[in-house]
Structure 1
Amino acid sequence: MSYIIGIIGLFVFMGLAWIASSNRKMVKIRPIIIMLVLQLVFGYILLNTGAGNVFVGSISKGFNQLLVYAAEGITFVFGGLVNPEESTFFMNVLLPIVFISALIGILQYWRILPFLIKYIGIALSKVNGLGKLESYNAVASAVLGQSEVFISLKKQLGLLPRHRLYTLCASAMSTVSMSIVGSYMTMLEPRYVVTALVLNLFGGFIIALLINPYDVDPEQDMIEEEKGEKQSFFEMLGEYIMDGFKVAVVVAAMLIGFVALIAMINGVFDAVFGINFQELLGYVFAPFAFLMGVPWSQAIDAGSIMATKMVSNEFVAMQTLDSGVYQLSDRVTAIVSVFLVSFANFSSIGIIAGAVKGLNEKQGNTVAKFGLKLLYGATLVSFLSATIVGLLY
């Protein structure tokens, strides 16, 4: 029965994208089917095979070692502040972003990441029915981040029509940057994080093909990376270290504000209506959780965590899931965990619009206008990926 519900869920979520399509007649079925098959194949390998376990285990081990190295620097600076009896979120989850950001900068400086991003993107463009620029952007977003990726496309931004700009922004919101993947792995099982990264990549293309179909003129489909004055190695390293620290501080500030606001709203709702705000949202999201493969007995709790992610951010939702407040089965935990791994939330609209506006004011205003549609599409990507996990787990 769960398989039937999951299959229905796939059609419902893709149907919701099709309903909002800008041009239903241009939707390309063949690449959608190909990428659905790829999602199922890669999802099965990562979740259910020995090879997948080895692959995920290697990635997890690598990130754990990076976190150990990061802890050396954190302990040196903040060691006297850490309470050995408690885990400090800022120290253990957010500050490692600084070290991982530095590593990304080194790989960028040595031209390793640009080479991989460019040619993986070109390979993906052969199967996804989109342009090379869109494919490049999807891979680059998963490495550089939802705001930083637009710097690498600065020269193209002013030339992009509205429909192509939407796809680029949707990719940025549907993925997560490598600089914070290690942080996610401290709260979720690594195999769910890795699985979500792969599924969201293809899911982003599927939803884009449904909600925003178009053809690309090959002559206008050039990948031209932004190249500025060559920095010295240590100039670059200092810049990426500071960027990583800024990300950690911004996320910390967002968490302080959102966690406090949710606590206040929960208190008000509980006092007035006898039900807190997150529980109320759980009822709204419960039908969608059910279509993802969550049993109805756990759908309200799962829906509450999913809604928390959308109205606040993924870190708040992951903390809620990790806290043990909701008693979810292993299968439901897998489904919800994959749903949480993306930047699909209201605050991301402002982050992406602001990043684009900083590079091109006119295009930034365009992004702000389709912000809600952007969140709608990115959320459908999360639904689609989580439903695939529900079918395979």
Structure 2
Amino acid sequence: MQYIIGLIGLAVFLLLAWVVSSDRKNVRWQYIAIMMVIQFLLAFLLLKTPGGVYLVNNLAKGFGYLLGYAAEGVNFVFPNMVNVDSKGAPLKNFFTQVLLPITFISALIGILQYLRLLPFIIKYLGLAISKINGMGKLESYNAVASAILGQSEVFISLKKQLPYIPKHRLYTLTASAMSTVSLSIVGAYFSMIKPEYVVTAIVLNLFGGFIIASIINPYRVTDEEENEVIMTENEHQQSFFEMLGEYILDGFKVAIIVGAMLIGYIALIAMLNGIVDAFTPGHVNFQTILGYVFAPFAFLTGIPWHDAVRAGSIMATKLVSNEFVAMLDVQNIVNNKTGELSERAIGIVSVFLVSFANFSSIGIIAGAIKSLNDKQGDVVARFGLKLLYGATLVSFISATIAGFFL
């Protein structure tokens, strides 16, 4: 039964994308079918095969080592921020153990960029994907780069091309940026939810972004358009220590910004919960109301109905705040063993959470592009809600496909 519901869910989510399509007659369903088959294959390999499990376990182990090295630097600067319980065991400090290690991961990304390893991977992986998705090389490059560099940083690498990118292609580029996550915060996700869900979501979202963009915003890239926005190397080559200092500071800024957003959003949600609870019988709060709104969509991803309201609440929390706030909710359920959600529901919800699809990302992406090209920034701001709509559908599709193998 869950497979039938999952198939119905995929059909509904694709239909929701088609309803707002800018050119419904020219959607190239053959490419969409190919990419969906690839998604199913990747989900099966990562979640069900020994090779996939081995890969994910070793990735998690590798990031575990990196987070251990990051802890050396964090503990040196903040030695008194590690609290212990009554038995002397260290308590989890979200700021020092989850956010601050982003600084170290960002430095490593900078080193790989400087050594030209990441640009090589991004270029040729993007070229290979362009043969599958039926889109331009720029769109494929941008999707891979977004998953490594981040939703705002990726557009710095496209600074010279931005003035020449037409509106329809700009939508696809920004949709990819909102549907993926940056490599610098993957370690933080690993410490909050199971690594197999993080890795699965990243690879599914990569193709899911193309699927939804191909339906909402179908077009064909001409050779002339491709040549107008051809990728060029940066003229200025920073010294190693210039680069390292820049990436370290960028990583620290990300950690501080995420921390600030968490303080604000968690406090606001707590206040809204309190207000709703005070005026409604039965201790119904704001997140419960969101849960009822999102419950049908959660159910369509393959989550059992008895889990759908709680799961929908977490999904909605991610949309109105960010993925970290929602992941904390999942983490509390897992750590406290409250039984609020089944293991299957936790897996599907976890895959849904791994993306930047939330309201604040509209401002982040539009602001990043506006700082590079004022006119193009305004263009992105105008289709911001449509951008979020599409990116949210990407998350639903990835979660639904993962649900077939959980």
Please report the TM-score for the alignment, with normalisation by the length of structure 1.
Answer: 0.99
Give 1:302's aligned amino acid: A
**Aligned mate of 2:317, from 290, 308, 313:** 308
Asked if 2 retains the 8 angstrom alpha-carbon contact of 1:8 and 1:291, the reply is yes
Partner of 1:133: 138
**Aligned mate of 1:181, from 186, 190, 201:** 186
- Divergent runs of 4+, >6 A: none
SS in 1 for 2:404: helix
**Aligned mate of 2:92, from 83, 87, 90:** 87
Give 1:203's aligned amino acid: G
1:308-332 CA distances to partner (integer Å, 9 max, x unpaired)? 0000000000001111166211111
CA RMSD of aligned residues (A): 0.9
Structure 2 CA distance for aligned equivalents of residues 80 and 58 of structure 1: 32
Structure 2 CA distance for aligned equivalents of residues 14 and 72 of structure 1: 47
Question: Counterparts in 2 of 1:13-92, with a 5 A limit?
Answer: 13-85=13-85, 86-92=91-97
Give 1:321's aligned amino acid: V
Structure 1 CA distance for aligned equivalents of residues 118 and 92 of structure 2: 33
Asked if 1 retains the 8 angstrom alpha-carbon contact of 2:81 and 2:96, the reply is no
Partner of 1:286: 295
Structure 1 CA distance for aligned equivalents of residues 36 and 130 of structure 2: 15
Structure 1 CA distance for aligned equivalents of residues 170 and 233 of structure 2: 17
Identity of aligned residues (%): 67
Q: How far did 1:228 drift? A: 3.9
Q: Are 2:396 and 1:387 aligned?
A: no
Asked if 2 retains the 8 angstrom alpha-carbon contact of 1:203 and 1:385, the reply is yes
Unpaired stretches in structure 1, ≥5 consecutive residues: none
Please report the TM-score for the alignment, with normalisation by the length of structure 2.
Answer: 0.96
Structure 2 CA distance for aligned equivalents of residues 376 and 269 of structure 1: 26
1:239-269 CA distances to partner (integer Å, 9 max, x unpaired)? 0000000000000000000000000000000
**Aligned mate of 2:222, from 217, 221, 230:** 217
Structure 2 CA distance for aligned equivalents of residues 58 and 82 of structure 1: 27
Q: How far did 1:226 drift? A: 5.4
Q: Are 2:150 and 1:145 aligned?
A: yes
Q: Are 2:122 and 1:109 aligned?
A: no
Q: How far did 1:220 drift? A: 2.2
Q: How far did 1:36 drift? A: 0.4
Give 2:324's aligned amino acid: F
1:248-306 CA distances to partner (integer Å, 9 max, x unpaired)? 00000000000000000000000012310000000000000000001110000000000
1:179-231 CA distances to partner (integer Å, 9 max, x unpaired)? 00000000100000000001000111100111100010123225414514221
Structure 1 CA distance for aligned equivalents of residues 31 and 187 of structure 2: 32
Q: Are 2:340 and 1:331 aligned?
A: no
Structure 2 CA distance for aligned equivalents of residues 99 and 254 of structure 1: 21
Give 1:43's aligned amino acid: A
Question: Counterparts in 2 of 1:199-348, with a 5 A limit?
Answer: 199-221=204-226, 222-225=229-232, 227-274=234-281, 275-324=284-333, 327-348=340-361
Aligned residues: 393
1:311-363 CA distances to partner (integer Å, 9 max, x unpaired)? 00000000011111662111111100000000000000000000000000000
SS in 2 for 1:294: coil
Structure 2 CA distance for aligned equivalents of residues 380 and 225 of structure 1: 33
Residues 223 and 70 of structure 1: CA distance in aligned 2, closer, same or farther (over 3 Å): farther
Unpaired stretches in structure 2, ≥5 consecutive residues: 86-90
Asked if 1 retains the 8 angstrom alpha-carbon contact of 2:17 and 2:216, the reply is yes
